[in-house]
Amino acid sequence: MLATASQLLSELPKPMQHRIDDFIKFLAIERGLSDAYQISVHQTLQSLSDWMNHRKLSIQEIGTDELSGFLNQRKAEGLATSSRRLATVHLKIFFRWIAAKGDIGMDPAEPLQAAKPDRTLPSTLSAGEIRNWLESISTQLPLGRRDKAILELFYSSGLRLAELCAARLEWLDTEEGFLRVSGKGRKTRLVRVGKDALLAITSYLANERPEWVKPHSSSHLFLSVRGGPLTPERIRQIVKKRAKLAGIDSKVYPHLLRHSFATHLLEGGADLRVIQELLGHADIATTQIYTHVSSKGLKDTHRKFHPRG
């Protein structure tokens, strides 16, 4: 019996773009991964697709050498080591999925080795610098209570920017001093809200937020004066503005407070596993970067104060 046109078309190799779209749907629906992660994966796979098209390669012609060549080109284009490590992960999960579906004979990404991480240490501020920064914010001026509550919460709880943006009133327990957080991969965790942060937040909730609530307002913890949730870009602007007003000359960004939070806990004697849990790191290797920061501080102190340092 002759095959129909639709049967013949169904047997043709699926275009790379369709595979990418199907995989992103899989990440969204089956894995429940965040929009930000889906976008990151899509960017990597789209770059690979463009690279393949330029060389007229099909997915069946892609082997480990070809994937290594793609990653090497990204390195030559100036892609940072951390981004290339992430791109390698994206390739591994994509080709593992393709291989499991039987679309290719073997997984060409399985042997790939991730680029060795840079030993660049995260920037931090001292406890004194952060104290002066927070105390410089006048709660008697417009937006002072909100902006101070934002900075206090960043430093008290070590939140990521996206986590702070997503924080909602119903996730905050003011009696026990905890906030439920929706982190990477939509994983939830409880973070501690310190007493100073709790005071700043309750003051903001009582004196500023109610004035901005509109019929369309959501239950997001931090609102704009128009009643909408604050965007990541707006919070970056707030952090930079408040740092400038406090006379902090170094480059300041929201993640700096997260780095400082973790470093100060470690220097204070906190267990690395506890810090891992508070930060929401899936792998303790990610948290171990802070041991290098702390060790550097010990060396500097020893060199400065020991007579033969």
**H or E segment and range at residue 178:** strand 178-182
Q: Which of 189, 165, 156 is nearest to 262 (CA)?
A: 156
Quick: pLDDT tens for 157-212.
999 998 999 999 999 999 999 999 987 767 888 999 999 999 999 999 999 999 99
Q: Does the active-site annotation cover 37?
A: no
Catalytic residue (one of 184, 189, 236, 240): 184
**For 56-82, what is the mean pLDDT?**
88
Q: Which residue intervals of the chain are DSSP H helices?
A: 5-11, 16-29, 35-55, 64-76, 81-100, 127-135, 144-157, 161-166, 195-207, 209-212, 232-245, 254-267, 272-279, 284-287, 289-305
Going along the chain from its start, the domains and CATH numbers come out as 14-100 (1.10.150.130), 127-305 (1.10.443.10)
Residue 296's pLDDT band (cuts 50, 70, 90): low
Residue 5 has pLDDT above 50, yes or no: no
Q: Does the active-site annotation cover 304?
A: no
Put simply, whether the predicted model's pTM sits higher than 0.75 gets the answer: no
Query: What is the spatial distance between Cα 261 and Cα 191, in angstroms, rounded to a whole number?
Result: 12
Tokens 């406890």: give the residue: 127
Q: Does the active-site annotation cover 258?
A: yes
Residue 147 has pLDDT above 60, yes or no: yes
Tokens of 295: 């060790």
Q: Does the active-site annotation cover 281?
A: yes
What pLDDT sits at residue 167? 95
Quick: pLDDT tens for 211-229.
999 999 999 999 999 999 9
Catalytic residue (one of 145, 146, 259, 290): 290
Catalytic residue (one of 19, 92, 258, 264): 258
Residue 308 has pLDDT above 60, yes or no: no
Q: Does the active-site annotation cover 184?
A: yes
Query: What is the spatial distance between Cα 93 and Cα 23, in angstroms, rounded to a whole number?
Result: 10
Residue 10's pLDDT band (cuts 50, 70, 90): very low
Residue 295 has pLDDT above 80, yes or no: no
Catalytic residue (one of 74, 146, 148, 160): 160
Q: Does the active-site annotation cover 306?
A: no
Query: What is the spatial distance between Cα 85 and Cα 280, in angstroms, rounded to a whole number?
Result: 19
